[in-house]
Amino acid sequence: MDERVPRDFETLRATILDRRETLPKRIAQIAAYALDNPDDIAFGTAASIAASAGVQPSTLIRFAQQLGFDGFTSLQQVFRERLRERNSSYDERLQALRAKADAGAGHRAIFDGFVAAASTSLNDISRTLDEAHLEDAISLLAKAETIYVLAKRRSYPVASYIAYALGKLKIRNQLIESAAGLNAEMVAFATPADAVIAISFSPYAPATIEEARTIAEQGVPIVAITDSSFSPLAQFAKVWFEVAEADFAGFRSLSATMALAMALTVGVGEKRRSTSRKRKA
Amino acid sequence: MDERVPRDFETLRATILDRRETLPKRIAQIAAYALDNPDDIAFGTAASIAASAGVQPSTLIRFAQQLGFDGFTSLQQVFRERLRERNSSYDERLQALRAKADAGAGHRAIFDGFVAAASTSLNDISRTLDEAHLEDAISLLAKAETIYVLAKRRSYPVASYIAYALGKLKIRNQLIESAAGLNAEMVAFATPADAVIAISFSPYAPATIEEARTIAEQGVPIVAITDSSFSPLAQFAKVWFEVAEADFAGFRSLSATMALAMALTVGVGEKRRSTSRKRKA
DNA sequence: TAAAAAATGAGACAGACATTCCATTTCAGA
DNA sequence: TCTGAAATGGAATGTCTGTCTCATTTTTTA
């Protein structure tokens, strides 16, 4: 029996793959089943798992013992821990990583922190997204002649991705950048037949707010992505989304905003296609 | 007893929060514990959970029954399902969502798809990231006088975020954009004392490759983020990262790339700070 | 091919499990 | 303060659990 008992799932997985060749037939059968259906191992009983895998419960225990565990139960712990860790309230993980990074725990910790922040944000938004708002926003944008995309500073990467994606979908759009210093003129072109996607988070870039105000006063409908109902953008917008991004090391994630932005973009593309099909029919 | 038994965790959670006020003391105690420690409910036994929550096992069962379940076991199923779903090989989930979206399942499905794609990518990268490469890349970039950031098209949003973050950290950087049409000149300024972060995924934007080649020939070290060892960027780079982003509806996620980019950026910031502290000492 | 060793199947068994039941306590309303 | 109902604690119960043992089969070795 091995002295080194695999404590975490990845090690266990590696060990199993390593020994795959040398394992007895029935044991190998369970090994394959375990790697294919780790969730079943985590939640099932020895009897139910054995039945699913087509072996006797005793074989399951022999499998566990062969790997160095003292029984099925301790093997199962590893599979359960895996689910716990992967899931484990990303918030907690994030906090732990923040503390770790503050203590100067190296660059891997920083990386893990950004991954955790992104995951937290994604979890959050998929829980809180208002489906009706999504529908409204997409309808509104799908009717627009030109979609203006408005965002600066931290939100600018999202805007540029939206513009890229709209372009690829052949949807007319205009990114309002500051480079040329012609924003006021560009904004003036927008009419109520157009629409705007505006993105801004606290501290709201003054230029974004100003341009959003102007454009709203021209009667152009705005879809806003922002971070709270107190956001100035929320006031100007026909539809607005609240997106709470987790931050790490002073930088907020963009993952949730990106996901929402892409859903809007592709949603508009779909809607236009189905509408034009109807018109032809 | 209620006819409408909450089948999924979110509904259950909402139901509990809704009734919180009207629940008897001990039952409320479990309710609070259940929402705070959902993992314990998923994995524990009625006895162990009851002990942790400071109540009798029988109370736990009454809690379950009050919610419309016929016993603790069926309540537990919901908590287990939650872990299963959240984790469940995001790949599978993604595939299911892709099929669903293809069948025209509405805009929520599209959104879920982008969230799943982002989560998959994040899971992937945190499993496969090479720590040594991360260290190498950060050392290399921390020594640079100016960090040039090079990316077009789909990767451009990442580049613009890197530029934003470097700016906030007061690290000299230059984003190589195409707007002004002066890329060749900008690239020519780079010297071996500088460094480049280049990002490109298949199909590689020809301009990125060309500029990367030129700049590499000038002896400027390149850190590349790309998608395979066959990438032309990998050849020019001193250090390169392989990032596999999942795609949805024809658009690849950027989450993993973003996380890596932020880790590089903040890592460089940290490294510089600790180095300058050493110099002073 | 024969003998030894390893692997397997199937049932037995003790312990832990969720659940139920009932006595006791707490609470609400008059 | 009294009374009935609701809530609670704690032990009893029957089922199901993981593990063990041992007879049988398969594989390996000489």
pLDDT tens, B110-130?
999 999 999 999 989 998 999
Alpha helices by DSSP H, chain B: 9-19, 25-36, 38-43, 46-53, 57-66, 72-87, 90-102, 107-128, 131-142, 156-168, 183-189, 206-217, 232-236, 255-280
Q: Which of A9, A3, A4 is nearest to A78 (CA)?
A: A9
Q: For the residues B184-200, what does the mean pLDDT come to? A: 90
pLDDT, position B87 = 62
**Is the bond leading into B38 cis (omega within 30 degrees of zero)?**
no
Q: Are B241 and B260 in contact (CB under 8 A)?
A: yes
Overall average pLDDT of the A135-154 stretch:
96
- Please check whether residue A272 touches B, CB under 8 A: no
**pLDDT at residue B280 greater than cutoff 70:** no
Note whether B82 and B43 are within 8 A (CB).
no
Q: Sign of the CA dihedral A225, A227, A229, A233?
A: negative
Among partner residues B83, B131, B179, which is closest to A87 by beta-carbon distance? B83
Q: Which nucleotides in chain C lie less than 7 Å from some protein C-beta?
A: 6-11, 16-21, 27
Contact flag, residue B57 CB and nucleic strand C, below 7 A: yes
Instruction: State pLDDT tens for residues A16-36.
Output: 988 888 888 899 999 999 999
Find, among B158, B238, B161, B172, the residue nearest to B201 by Cα.
B158
Question: pLDDT tens digit string along A227-261?
Answer: 988 899 999 999 999 999 999 999 999 999 999 99
Q: What is the mean pLDDT of residues A96-115?
A: 85
H helix or E strand, kind and range, residue A148: strand A147-150
Pick from A165, A134, A163: nearest CA to A148: A163
User: Quick one: CA torsion of A11, A14, A16, A18, rounded to 10 degrees?
Assistant: -140
| A132: its two tokens | 């009706």
If pLDDT is split at 50, 70 and 90, which confidence band does B1 have?
Answer: very low
For the ranges A144-148, A178-182, B22-26, B220-224, the lowest mean pLDDT is seen at A178-182
Q: Is the pLDDT of residue B159 over 90?
A: yes
CA atoms within 13 A on the CB side of B248: 36
A58 CA → D25 C1’, Å = 16
| B77-105 exposure pattern, b = at least 16 Cβ within 10 A, e = fewer | ebbbbbbbebbeebeebbeebbebbeeee
Q: A21 exposed, middle or buried (CB, 10 Å; 0-12, 13-18, 19+)?
A: exposed
Mean pLDDT of chain B: 89
pLDDT at A2: 39
The DSSP code for A205 is P
How many beta-carbon contacts under 8 Å exist across A and B?
164
| Spatial separation of the C-alpha atoms in residues A92 and A90, rounded to whole Å | 5
Provide the CA B57 to C1' D3 distance, Å, integer: 30
Lowest mean pLDDT among A197-201, B86-90, B255-259: B86-90
pLDDT confidence bin for A14, thresholds 50/70/90: confident
**Contact at 8 Å (CB) between A231 and A258?**
no
- Domain parsing of chain A, residue ranges: 9-87, 90-119, 129-280
**Per-residue pLDDT band at A174 (split at 50, 70, 90):** very high
Burial class (CB in 10 A: 0-12, 13-18, 19+), B22: exposed
User: In the 3-class helix/strand/coil scheme, how is B71-127 assigned residue by residue?
Assistant: CHHHHHHHHHHHHHHHHCCHHHHHHHHHHHHHCCCCHHHHHHHHHHHHHHHHHHHHH
Query: By C-alpha distance, which of A175, A179, A203, A169 is closest to A187?
Result: A175
d(CA B242, CA B134): 11
CB contact, 8 Å: A26 with chain B?
no
Q: Strand A247-248 relative to strand A251-252: parallel, antiparallel, unpaired?
A: antiparallel
Residue with tokens 């794609």: B117
Q: What is the DSSP letter of A44?
A: S
What CATH number should be reported for the domain whose range is A129-280? 3.40.50.10490
* Residue in B13, B36, B41, B83 to test binding to A, most A beta-carbons within 10 Å: B83
pLDDT over 80 at A1, yes or no: no
Contact yes or no for B153 and A164 at CB 8 A: yes
By C-alpha distance, which of B252, B195, B242, B251 is closest to B218? B195
How near does any CA of chain B get to the CA of A10, in Å?
Answer: 10
Asked if A258's CB is within 8 angstroms of B114's CB, the reply is yes
- What is the C-alpha to C-alpha distance for residues A75 and A71, in angstroms, rounded to an integer? 7
pLDDT over 90, % of chain B: 67
Asked if B270 reaches chain A (Cβ–Cβ under 8 Å), the answer is yes
Question: What whole-number distance in Å separates Cα of residue B162 and Cα of residue B141?
Answer: 13
Domain B9-87 has CATH 1.20.1730.10: no
CA of B59 to C1' of C20 (A): 12
CATH homologous superfamily of domain B130-280?
Glucose-6-phosphate isomerase like protein; domain 1 (3.40.50.10490)
Is residue A78 within 8 Å of A9, Cβ to Cβ? yes
Give the confidence band of A181 by pLDDT, cuts at 50, 70, 90. low
Q: Report the range of poorest mean pLDDT among A28-37, A199-208, B91-100, B226-235.
A: B91-100
Distance in angstroms (rounded) separating the CA atoms of residues B179 and A102:
39
Question: What are the tens digits of pLDDT across the range B9-68?
Answer: 988 998 999 888 888 889 999 999 999 999 999 999 999 999 999 999 999 999 999 999
How many angstroms away from the CA of B107 is the closest CA of chain A?
6
Residue-level pLDDT at B2: 40
Question: Residue A39 and residue B270: Cβ atoms within 8 Å?
Answer: no
SS3 B68: coil
Q: Which is more confident, A207 or B101?
A: A207
Examine domains B9-87 and B130-280 and report if their fold is the same: no
